[in-house]
Amino acid sequence: MPSESTRTNHGPVGADTLIEIDHVSFGYEPGRNVLNDISMRFGRGQVTAILGGSGCGKTTLLRLIGGVHRVDQGSVRVDAEAIDTRNAEQLFRLRRRLGMLFQFGALFTDLSVFENVAFPLREHTDLDDAMIRDIVLMKLNAVGLRGAAMLRIAEISGGMGRRVALARAIALDPELLLYDEPFTGLDPIAMGVTANLIRKLNDALGATSLIVSHDVQECFEICDYAYIMAAPGVVIAHGRPDELNASADPQVRQFIRGEPDGPVPFHYPAPPLAQDLGLGA
Amino acid sequence: MNWLAAIGRFALGSLRALGHHAFFFWELMRTLPTSLRRPYFAVAQVHALGNLSLLVILSSGLAVGFVLALQTYYALATYGAADSVGLVVNLSLVRELGPVVTALLFAGRAGTSLTAEIGLMKAGEQLAAMELMAVDPKSRVLAPRFLGGIVAMPILALLFSAIGILGAYVVGVLMIGLDAGNFWSIMENGVDVRRDLGNGIIKSIVFGVICSFVAVYQGYEAKATPEGVARATTRTVVISSLTVLMVDFVLTALMFSTR
């Protein structure tokens, strides 16, 4: 169980809060909550990691911040303004301020690498083609893919696709960056470069970054603060990386060290295997 | 009373579906002015959808023209009215077969392609990505395809009718030996541009709205799984075809009534 101090305080102390998740519950189907009464705070200018195993509601949380779904209970506030998913104008204003890297890239398969990165620039600015070209090439250079600018999406690997998606997410230099599993499918070199890029971008742009991931060590190296979530959509601990590394909480220790045995069960709830196989008395 | 509950559920479900379609149509209409400000997206779709269907439309039109001329000749020759083959073929094509068969072929060829494309974009989170980039997918993806279908349909229907008439000429004049002058002149005298050709074009525009709307709706509402996209694609063909045939009856009754 988390320590008392981390339980009562829902976020980084002293940081100016950009996003506040206040007692939020949410489920895609009635009676089956993905998130259960969670509260978090994300400090402006900070890199915050949301860590947790598969299916604990991390991606859903990012979608709630982006206003994709309406919360069932509680509220999500950005700059102290509660997100109302029925208010199209407010959603438009919010989304103009954010860039999101999707778990599987979500690249437009009918466009080239170049056009994917140029997409937000063409949609939201009146820049001329020469300026767009320069910006796109700089963004692609940052992720190491300037040479792949003219390739079709079908011609690049999954890892390259995620880097293109990252270049697209930062194309408009957003104020808030949401990264959904940014390290999945990357080779060690690309992973290190991407992690450093996330940190550098955050500091250079004065942005606020949220990273949803299960790569504990990569996230701890670059984040200022971290939340650890577990099924069924609850926060089990939060704190600075050094605090979490030193935590005596068995659930936190099991997750950080990747141990198979501990308070977090590996198996989905089921009757004993022998019973399912029809063995024994 | 289970049967009463079942009827009630069916009625409520149908009304809900109808309301959802109507609301979606209204939403699509609201995005049209924005899409028209960037017409190049719709023009690209006219080109893409037209090209996609052109070969099947032309080859079907030619085959229909051949068969129609042959059957009409067999029937009319019995009554000594073989000279009217050109007129009957033309009226059949321009008033009915051109718009209807083109719509059915369009639904099968371009409609399914539209549904699958939009459904796969949804499954690949491309539409969600657009939304989070503050870009409305209805305006950027659906509306240009919807407009493209509406514009492409009458062009394809006219091409279908034109190639069908040429097919009838080949069979009637070149193969059977009907008089070429008679074939064209009776057509010129008997076909009214406003009543026959104009109503045929109006029909194909209406069918364009139906087929394009069904295709984009089914794609957008498809479940984001391979099975979901497959089912949506099938529904596009079935719903478009049945709706076109039913609406055609209503339009024909309204347009060509002699009362």
pLDDT-based confidence at A15, cuts 50/70/90? low
Q: How far apart are CA B169 and CA A153, in angstroms?
A: 49
HSE toward the beta carbon, residue A267, CA cutoff 13 A = 5
User: Residue A280 has what pLDDT?
Assistant: 67
pLDDT digits (tens, 9 = 90+) for B210-251: 999 999 999 999 998 999 999 999 999 999 999 999 999 999
Q: How far apart are CA B49 and CA B155, in angstroms?
A: 11
Contact criterion met (CB below 8 Å) for A98 and A176: yes
Contact criterion met (CB below 8 Å) for B118 and B107: no
> Mean of the pLDDT values across residues A22-34?
86
Across the A/B interface, how many CB contacts are shorter than 8 Å? 45
Q: How far apart are CA B142 and CA B150, in angstroms?
A: 12
| Poorest-pLDDT segment among A120-124, B161-165, B186-190, B225-229 | B186-190
> Mean of the pLDDT values across residues B84-109?
93
| Poorest-pLDDT segment among A143-152, A193-202, B3-12, B242-251 | A193-202
User: Residue A2 has what pLDDT?
Assistant: 45
pLDDT-based confidence at A5, cuts 50/70/90? very low
Edge to edge, the sheet with strand A225-230 lists: A98-101, A176-180, A208-213, A47-52, A225-230, A234-239
Query: Is the CB of B140 less than 8 angstroms away from the CB of A123?
Result: yes
Going by C-alpha positions, the residue among A257, A194, A251 that lies closest to residue A222 is: A194
Cβ neighbours of B134 in A, within 8 Å: 91-92, 95-96, 123-124
User: Residue A36 has what pLDDT?
Assistant: 87
- Bridge partners (DSSP) listed for residue A210: A48, A178
Q: How far apart are CA A27 and CA A4, in angstroms?
A: 28
User: Residue B22 has what pLDDT?
Assistant: 94
Q: How far apart are CA B224 and CA B116, in angstroms?
A: 11
Query: Is the CB of A106 less than 8 angstroms away from the CB of B126?
Result: yes
What value of ipTM does the predicted structure carry? 0.80
pLDDT digits (tens, 9 = 90+) for B100-127: 999 999 999 999 999 999 999 999 899 9
Q: CA of B52 to nearest chain A CA: how many angstroms apart?
A: 16
User: Residue A275 has what pLDDT?
Assistant: 85
User: Residue A9 has what pLDDT?
Assistant: 46
State CA A89 to chain mean position distance: 24
User: Residue B252 has what pLDDT?
Assistant: 92
Query: Is the CB of B126 less than 8 angstroms away from the CB of A68?
Result: no
User: Residue A104 has what pLDDT?
Assistant: 84
User: Residue B74 has what pLDDT?
Assistant: 92
B124 in contact with A at a CB cutoff of 8 Å? yes
Q: CA of A199 to nearest chain B CA: how many angstroms apart?
A: 22
User: Residue A11 has what pLDDT?
Assistant: 60
Q: Which residues, other chains included, contact B68 with Cβ-Cβ below 8 Å and sequence gap of 6+?
A: B89, B92, B93, B97, B164, B167, B168
Going by C-alpha positions, the residue among A207, A12, A225, A194 that lies closest to residue A98 is: A207
